[in-house]
A = this chain, B = another copy of it.
Amino acid sequence: MTLNTQRIIEPESLNAASFAPFGEVIHPSTAKKEWAINDGNTTRFHDVANLVPGDGGRVIASIFRAQPRELPFTVTMMERHPLASQAFIPLSGQPWLVVVAPPGSAPQAADLRLFVCRPNQGVNYAPGVWHHPILALDAVSDFLVLDRDGPGDNCDIITLDEPAVILPVLSQGR
C-alpha cells in the first residue's frame, strides 16, 4: 500500500473544545452542571448531550454492536442525519474512533477530522454533522445509541471524491 500518496487524516484527542463544532462529548467532565443526589451517594452530571429528536420525532435508545475495524482504514464515505442528533456511548470498555466533517455541503477528504476516543467517552453528533459509521477497535463493541424515531428520510450518504486513510493511531490516544 503506497500510503505516502494517499491523504492521511491526522488524529486529534477528543475533548469538549475540539469537538464543539460537531456536537458534545458525553463524559462527566463536560457537564455544565453537577450536584450531589441520593443523600450524597451519587453525583449527577446533568444533561451532557443536546439530544434533538427533530420535528415530529422522539428520542429512542438502541444498542449498536460493532465489529472491530483494522487499521490502516480507508474512509471512502460519510453520512449525516439531517433531522436529528445521534449519540454514541461506548459500553464495552474499548477505545474507538470518530471521523466527522462540518454540516453543510458534502465533505471532501480535506474536511475530515479524526478523534481518538477513550473507552469512557461518548459523543453526540448535532443534526446534519457528517460522520463515518462506528469505528470500533480491537474487539466487538457495543454502544448505546440515542437517535430519532419519526417520519421522513433522516440519512444522507455520500462517497468521497478522494478517500482518506486512518493510520494506526492508538498509541497516541490511549
Contacts and interface: CB of A to CB of B under 8 A. Distances in A.
B26 A48 contact: no
Interface string A53-83: 1000011111111110100000000000000
A43 to B, nearest CB: 4
Interface in A1-37: 26-28, 31, 37
A134 B31 contact: no
A44 B134 CA distance: 11
A134 B38 CA distance: 8
Contacts of A37: 64, 133
B47 A65 contact: no
Tell me how many chains of this kind the complex includes: 2
A51 B60 contact: yes
Contacts of A66: 38, 41-42
A31 B63 contact: yes
A149 B51 CA distance: 11
A36 to B, nearest CB: 10
A124 B59 CA distance: 14
A174 interface: no
B65 A26 contact: no
A58 to B, nearest CB: 7
Contacts of A145: 44
Nearest to A41: B67
Nearest to A120: B91
A63 B26 contact: yes
12 contacts: A27-B63, A28-B63, A41-B66, A41-B67, A42-B64, A44-B62, A44-B64, A46-B62, A47-B60, A48-B61, A122-B144, A144-B144
